[in-house]
Each structure stands twice: as C-alpha cells, then as structure tokens.
A and B are shown apart, each in its own frame.
Chain A
Amino acid sequence: MKIDDFTKIPRVLGAGLVSEDGFIIEGQAKFEYDTEKLGAIAARVVNRIKNSLGVAKASAIIYTKDNVLFLRDSADGIAFVICQKDANVGLVKIRLDKFA
C-alpha cells in the first residue's frame, strides 16, 4: 500500500510517513497543507503519547474543529493522514491499519 492510496480517498488532505524525529520519509498533501509541518506534528504527538502513557507503539485519531488527523506508529516510521472531518473516517482507518 502506498501513500497515494490515502490521498485518493475523497476529502483526504494529506498523508505521509515520518521518522521518529520528525523528518519526512514520504508525503503528499494538498497545496494548502505542508507535509513537513504535518510530519513534525505527527512525530511530536506520537512521541508525547508514547512517553506519557508508556506505550511502545502509539496510535491516535485526533479530531479538531475542521479536520481529523490519524497517527499510527509502524515499523517504517510514523504514518499520518489528515482529512476533512466529513471524510469517510472509517475507510481511512481501515487503510491505515493495513498500511501499518
């Protein structure tokens, strides 16, 4: 499964894979979104979850006013997908589970 499998889903705004220290390994995003910034956020939040809750692998779905951000710790790095809140969140989750 590739990153663009996510960005093909309607209302998905960006997706990528980032290293634990926040550097982008692979990423795609719509023009108003910066994959570098998204990657940095993903790494920061995942590291925070791992440190705070003492878990080896972190996985989170974060809802904001307009967006939903998926984060998933995988062997290759931290996968992230950002979509509009009216996107098919369930489908994104299934694809992300397969990806990780």
Chain B
Amino acid sequence: MSDELRVDSGALIFATLADVYISSGMIDEAISILKDGLARNPNYHLAKIILGRAHFLGGDVDKAIETIESIYEEVKDSESANLYLGHCYHKLNDNEKARKYYETTLKINPENMEALHELEKLIPDFTPQPQVEITEPAPVVEPVVEESQVSEVSETPIEEVEVAAVEEETETAEIAAAVPVVEEAEIPQREAVVEESDESEVAVADQVIEELPEKAVEIESVPLEALDKPVKKLLDLHTVKGVFLSTKDGLLIKNYDKGKHDVETTCASIAAICMDVDESFRLLKRGGLTRCIIEKSDETLCVMAVGDSLLTVVTRVEAKPGLVFVYARKIIEEIEEILG
C-alpha cells in the first residue's frame, strides 16, 4: 500500500493507510503520512479526524484538539470527531466539555459503547440503557401532536408524555408491562436531553417514542469499573506492563494493557494454551491449571485462573513472577466477587 501511495500521492488512500498504521501502534508513521496527505488534500476532513485521533493516541492532546476543532463545524455530525474530542477533554480533566462531546456522540450513535462507558465514569449515576423487559418490539408509534398538545408537552415531564403517548397509541400487553420500568429508568436521561437540545420538546417526545422498541433488546451492563481499583495495585508495580481479564474460552473481559498488544489475540492464545494444559493434565489425573508463567524473549506472561476467568499479567523479562503472584493473589478474591 505504501508503494501505491507513492505512485499517486494525491490519492485519498493515505487516510486508510494511516488508519492501519494507527491500529498497528505506528502512531508516528500515521501522523507523518496524514500530514503529507493533508498537504495535498487540505479539505479531506476524515483525514483530519484521523490525524486528531493519532495525535491523541500519541499523547499530544492539545494538538489533537486543535486539529479536530479546526474542522469541527464541518464535521459536527461525525461520531469519531465528537468521541475523540470527548477523550481529549477528559484527559485534560475538563469534564464539562468531555461530557458535552460524549453526549453528542451518543446522540449520533446511541450504541457507541466507548462514549457510554466514559459518560458512566464522568456521571456515576448515568443510566444510558434502561432495561425494559419486552420480548417483542412494540409497533413504532407516530403520535400526531397538535398545537394545544405542544404547550402541554412543554410543561409536562417527558416520561409522562411518553407514557401517555404509548397508552394512547398502543394497547399491547408488552408495552403496558414496560411502562413502569421506563418511568423509573429514563427520567435522568430524558431531562438531560431536554436541557442540551435546541429542538422542540415535541421532537424530543417523538424521539423518545421511536426509541422505545430499540430499548427492548438492550442488556444491563456489568459494573466492570469496580475492577479498576484492585487491578491498579498490580499496575502500580513498575515491571508490570499490562493486565487483562478474559474468559476461559478466550474472550476479553477487560483490558488494562499499557503496551501495544493485540490483546484479543493474546487472550485467545492464552486460553488455547490453558485448555491444552487442562486437557493434558486430565490424562495424568492431576487436576487442571491454576496458574502458569510463560516466558517470552521480550516479556513474561503470568496467567492465573480466577473462577471462570483468566487474569493475565504481562510483565517485563526482569520482573519477579513470585512478586506478581503475591500481589495477584491479594486481588483475586476481589475480582471473583466483582465478576460473580
């Protein structure tokens, strides 16, 4: 792809190549190629967003903000522009601005898990995904709001408007069952939308009603942030490069890797090794793996079974695995409790 780029330096393919570089952790290369490409295509906004992202990932937050904000008016509907501005301001501890950009991201894509996760951190009582127990989606309701109803809407709390609209337009048993849950869970979020939005309340009410069927399939999230505190004890060891939790079948639960690992691949590989060990030891009738140390030329992986999960600690070669296990053993109970 590099050769291709050299042949046609004006090609917009440079943004794709830069994205690949970023995914591979080659931030400097990505920045260099983006600057070069943008010099030839200064109006290529996507490339500027990627450049902002590269600056952010490279640790230059101010430059990231400067880059994305320089084109923000043109890309204000871009999910990633808002997300990375949110990340940048979050890093600068400007939580107010961070929150604003995360909320905009969620308005563009309500399923952006990164923005949801960060907002949950910023607002501890943030409840973006209320659990509504409906098995089948309800029919889409399009209420006809007359002028007289508009004034009523503006003075009535949103959840009441929503419930009233639902009751008027649908008589299905599923919706009736869902209403009490919606009343409890949606109040804070809907109020926030009203505060932030310049649209009329009628439009908000429309949006609320249209969103109702989608919420039926959303699942309550596990508070994995509780893992941050125990894991931090391990991360504080200067020889520890990263920590990640995965299921025994290799699916990533939470990543605290400070390095540039392909964590998902590493999780899958470690799970495969553990499964092999378990199966092998079954031959000897000597029980399954409880922990293991895998020494590589550039790092050491200390893996521990934590209930149905695997805790992997990536350390430098010179680290003392004994010390890592002592610390890990201290936090394993806490992790087990959190993961249930």
Contacts and interface: CB of A to CB of B under 8 A. Distances in A.
A52 B269 contact: yes
Majority SS at the chain A contact face: mixed
Interface in B275-330: 276-277, 280-281, 283-284, 286-297, 301, 321
Contacts of A53: 266, 269, 273, 294, 296, 301
Contact of B292 (A38, A56, A63, A65): A63
B287 A60 contact: no
Contact of B291 (A41, A63, A66): A63
B338 interface: no
Contacts, number: 69
A44 B276 contact: yes
B177 to A, nearest CB: 48
Given A49-B273, A52-B273, A58 B289 contact: no
B277 A62 contact: yes
Contacts of A64: 277, 281, 286-290
B164 interface: no
A2 B282 CA distance: 29
A15 to B, nearest CB: 15
Given A48-B272, A48-B276, A41 B284 contact: yes
Interface residues of A, number: 24
Contacts of B301: 53
Nearest to A32: B284
A37 B277 contact: no
Contacts of B281: 41, 64
A60 B294 contact: yes
Nearest to A48: B276
Interface in B117-132: none
Given A52-B269, A55-B296, A63-B290, A45 B276 contact: yes
Contacts of A63: 289-292
Given A41-B280, A48-B276, A66 B292 contact: no
Interface string B241-260: 00000000000000000000
Contacts of B272: 48, 52
Contacts of B277: 45, 62, 64
A45 B284 contact: no
B250 to A, nearest CB: 10
Interface string A33-70: 10001101100110011001101111111111111000
Nearest to A73: B295
A65 B290 contact: yes
Contact of B286 (A58, A59, A67): A67
Nearest to B304: A63
Contact of A59 (B266, B280, B295): B295
Nearest to A38: B284
Contacts of A41: 280-281, 283-284
Given A37-B284, A41-B284, A60 B276 contact: no
A3 B35 CA distance: 60
Contacts of A55: 296-297
8 smallest beta-carbon distances between A and B, as pairs: A65-B287, A52-B269, A59-B295, A41-B280, A61-B293, A62-B292, A63-B291, A48-B276
Interface of A: 33, 37-38, 40-41, 44-45, 48-49, 52-53, 55-67
